[in-house]
Amino acid sequence: MNHCLNAMEARLTDLLQTGLDTGGTDAGAAFARLAEECEACGLHTGSVLMNRLAGLLEARAHVLEKEDAPLLDALFTAEHYIALCRERWQELEILEGWQEQQMWTQDREEGDSL
């Protein structure tokens, strides 16, 4: 999951670096690939957001009058989603660490009693 979040964040940051006018078309295809990866990682909302971004970027390339507000809405929603996922991921990592530590302590205590 963390790998997927990193990939999404990196792609969004690339788009910020290059700009929609230059990097928009390439980013569309990359977001579509990321949508599949997200689905495989269990990030369903992430997949929906990536698909939405891919669709909007693809459509942007074929319109004469660029209306970017919905695209930016989707882009910043995706950024917010990544931040929330990271927060949750961090929490899970701490809990996982605590569980491992508890198991290790239990094993040691059992070993001592034997």
Q: How far apart are CA 95 and CA 24, in angstroms?
A: 39
The distance of closest approach from Cβ of residue 42 to another protein in the complex, given in angstroms and rounded to an integer, is 19
Residue number, 1 or 39, with CB nearest to another protein: 1
Residue number, 39 or 48, with CB nearest to another protein: 48
**Cα 74 versus chain centre, distance:** 13
Q: How far apart are CA 60 and CA 64, in angstroms?
A: 8
Size of the site for another protein (CB under 8 A): 44
| 45 touches another protein (CB under 8 A) | no
Which positions from 59 to 98 touch another protein by CB under 8 A, shown as an x/- string?
-xxxxxxx-xx--xx-xxx-xx--x---x--xx-xxxxxx
| 104 touches another protein (CB under 8 A) | yes
Residue number, 18 or 36, with CB nearest to another protein: 18
* C-beta neighbour count of 50 within 10 angstroms: 29
| 105 touches another protein (CB under 8 A) | yes
Task: Please give the DSSP secondary-structure letter assigned to residue 63.
Answer: -
- Is residue 49 a contact partner of residue 56, using CB atoms and an 8 Å limit? no
Give which of 62, 71, 99 is closest to 12, Cα–Cα.
71
